[in-house]
Chain A
Amino acid sequence: MGGTTGDTADALSIADRGFASRLLLGTAGYPNQQMMLDALAAAEPALVTVAIRRISLEPYAESLVDLVGGRYSLLPNTAGCATVRDAVLTAHLAREALGTSWIKLELIGDRETLYPDVEQLLRATEELVKDGFTVLPYCNDDPVTCRKLADLGAAAVMPLGSPIGTGLGIINPYAIERICTTSPVPVILDAGIGTASDAAQAMELGCDGVLLNTAVAKAHDPRRMARAMRLAVAAGREARLAGRIPKRSQAEPSSPQLGLVGG
């Protein structure tokens, strides 16, 4: 372990592209667009996700793409798609309209839990990789699924911390840590982040980045929460690199108590 400190020395790399930030932020559900822009400015995200199915891809003044596109790198997602065909079509639309071959692949199998449909996710990943896309699939917190996605050519895997929009944090830290240990591609924790400590925990478990949206968009003060998330991701990453001490069952004083002069 050399003396690697500072953000620039520790860039996130996905598909050979470097990012100064390890935070990815979504654009949905803010009180208004100005608040979203302020939150983005405070978060300084590596990538900004947009739901292709939910917006118009026709360019017009003050549209989401118009406001965000020139300033941030967009990561289109396939939210709202339920079949391989839908997702592939949406990815192609996004590539044409936004000029990026990066796609966050989201294939929901169940409207109640919003859990991914793994079977279709694997097939869509395979197809999109063949079509030349850089695919970042949103997936279950399952090391086997993550491994299969990576083997199919996914550029990163994005396991869920807990179901979308719940803010329950990381409900299975063991699984996330296992995925981070075994994954040959970067691991971005996606979904379930409720507050800053959840984001820090993801980084401490070994994730390469965190994607979140609702925790910032629906906070009482989205700007402040965006800043908190940026700091938490950076803090969690630093803690991970620094190496945490082992947990002990017995207390041990932090300063020595024996052999003190005059003690």
Chain B
Amino acid sequence: MLAAGIEAEPGEEALYRLNRLSQELWPGFAAALETASGIAVDYRGEGTLAIALTRDDVAQLRFHFDFQRSLGVALEWLSGAEARRREPHLHPGLAAAVFSPHDHQVDNRRLVTALRRAFLAAGGALHEHAPVSAVEIAGGRVTAVRVGESRHAADVVVLAAGAWSTEIAGLPRAALPPVRPIKGQMLALRMDPAAPLLRHVVWAPRAYLVPRRDGRLIVGATTEERGFDSALTAGGVFALLEGVWRALPGVEELAIDEMWVGFRPGSRDDAPLLGPSAVDGLVLATGHHRNGILLTPATADALSRFILRGELDAAIRPFAIDRFAAPLKEEA
């Protein structure tokens, strides 16, 4: 999901601006990537619907709608009947919906495949399935990355290890990004690609639904503070299935394609850590939480300009690691 608008939350106004900026970069980024890789990334621009199934849901949806509109998000309030005209398979009892025209989606797996091919085609060297054992630092400067037994000398290293960012050995405490894993259980159902049940991304009260071009319907996601616990649980899967079934009863007929667990890299304020660190040459690109795919173009743009030309883009200044350097307020 490339959802800057419908997911905007209180206290995250700066993040909303960065998300929005990246969202605007996406169509051009997708086109350039497809040209460079020859792989379709299935960018879809139908937009997102947030739906309400009960009177309580309507009140909650209106509450979010008012907040997001106050941020300047372009949103349209729809009656249940209007929403069902756009998505006829949604539950007949649909009470209301909000349409977010700018919140699009891209197939994240195709995206990674395309990025890989484009990177290699551009002359990059990729070491896959090769965990970094340490970053080497000498005199306050990064000097190399150690992968198993081999050492790769480098004067610039980008730390983009997601939820595992704090597990890279060799970094001084001040350069360790304050990132934790936030567990999410997800599943994929299989629709008929010629007659899909859904075209928009849908945020239902208890699950979100993302229809892919190939017929997969992605259903997500739990949010769990459980470290790197990778278990799929009956309760987690049940909650997802119940959530999707309440919104889209026709899923009863669909095959379950896959179920999995992922780990979002979460910083304390859910915003990424971007730019220089306490170690010269060590650049951070981590802590993207739910927005890693959305923020791909903005992150790549800003960091490559910083690395190649030393320019620190105003758009990423609010996301420096030093925002967490100040001690937390003590209890009074």
Known: A31-B10, A35-B10, A220-B10. A60 touches B180 (CB 8 A): yes
Interfacial chain A residues near B67, Cβ < 8 Å:
220
The reply to whether B331 and A44 form a contact with Cβ atoms under 8 Å apart is: yes
Interface assignment of A119: CB less than 8 Å from any CB of chain B: no
The reply to whether B229 and A32 form a contact with Cβ atoms under 8 Å apart is: no
Q: Which of A51-59, A140-148, A174-182 contacts B (4 or more CB under 8 A)?
A: A51-59
* Contact residues of B between 252 and 304, Cβ < 8 Å to A: 266-270
Q: Which of A63-71, A151-159, A239-247 contacts B (4 or more CB under 8 A)?
A: A63-71
Known: A54-B224, A63-B180. A222 touches B330 (CB 8 A): no
Most chain-A CB neighbours within 10 Å: which of B178, B224, B331?
B331
Interface assignment of B90: CB less than 8 Å from any CB of chain A: no
Q: What is the distance, in angstroms, from B13's C-beta to the closest C-beta of chain A?
A: 11
Interface assignment of A37: CB less than 8 Å from any CB of chain B: yes
Give which listed residue, A35, A40, A60, contacts B11 with CB less than 8 A.
Answer: A35
Q: What is the distance, in angstroms, from A86's C-beta to the closest C-beta of chain B?
A: 13
The reply to whether B331 and A71 form a contact with Cβ atoms under 8 Å apart is: yes
The reply to whether A34 and B11 form a contact with Cβ atoms under 8 Å apart is: yes
Q: How far is the CA of A55 from the CA of B229 in the complex (A)?
A: 11
Interface assignment of A62: CB less than 8 Å from any CB of chain B: yes
Give which listed residue, B63, B269, B330, contacts A33 with CB less than 8 A.
Answer: B269
Give which listed residue, B11, B63, B179, contacts A222 with CB less than 8 A.
Answer: B11
Q: What is the distance, in angstroms, from B60's C-beta to the closest C-beta of chain A?
A: 9
Q: What is the distance, in angstroms, from A44's C-beta to the closest C-beta of chain B?
A: 5
Residue of B nearest to A217 (CB): B10
Q: How large is the interface on A (under 10, 10 to 19, 20 to 34, 35 or more residues)?
A: 20 to 34
Give which listed residue, B180, B229, B330, B331, contacts A62 with CB less than 8 A.
Answer: B180
Residue of B nearest to A44 (CB): B332
* Contact residues of B between 312 and 332, Cβ < 8 Å to A: 328-332
Interfacial chain A residues near B12, Cβ < 8 Å:
31-32
Report the count of interface residues on B (CB-CB < 8 A). 26
Interface assignment of B92: CB less than 8 Å from any CB of chain A: no
Known: A62-B180, A219-B10. A35 touches B269 (CB 8 A): yes
Interfacial chain B residues near A34, Cβ < 8 Å:
11, 268-270
Most chain-A CB neighbours within 10 Å: which of B176, B224, B269, B330?
B269
Q: How far is the CA of A62 from the CA of B226 in the complex (A)?
A: 12
The reply to whether B331 and A32 form a contact with Cβ atoms under 8 Å apart is: no
Q: How far is the CA of A252 from the CA of B298 in the complex (A)?
A: 67
The reply to whether B268 and A61 form a contact with Cβ atoms under 8 Å apart is: no
Interfacial chain A residues near B24, Cβ < 8 Å:
none
Interfacial chain A residues near B108, Cβ < 8 Å:
none
Interface assignment of A11: CB less than 8 Å from any CB of chain B: no
Interfacial chain A residues near B229, Cβ < 8 Å:
56
Interface assignment of B88: CB less than 8 Å from any CB of chain A: no
Interfacial chain A residues near B331, Cβ < 8 Å:
40-41, 44, 71-72
Q: A55-B225, A62-B180 are in contact. List 20 more A-B contacts (CB 8 A).
A: A31-B270, A32-B268, A33-B269, A37-B268, A37-B328, A40-B331, A41-B331, A44-B331, A56-B226, A60-B227, A61-B176, A62-B166, A62-B179, A62-B267, A63-B227, A220-B63, A221-B10, A221-B11, A222-B11, A223-B11
Name B residues whose Cβ lies closer than 8 Å to a Cβ of A: 9-12, 63, 67, 166, 176, 178-180, 224-227, 229, 266-270, 328-332
Name A residues whose Cβ lies closer than 8 Å to a Cβ of B: 31-35, 37-38, 40-41, 44, 54-56, 58, 60-64, 67, 71-72, 219-223
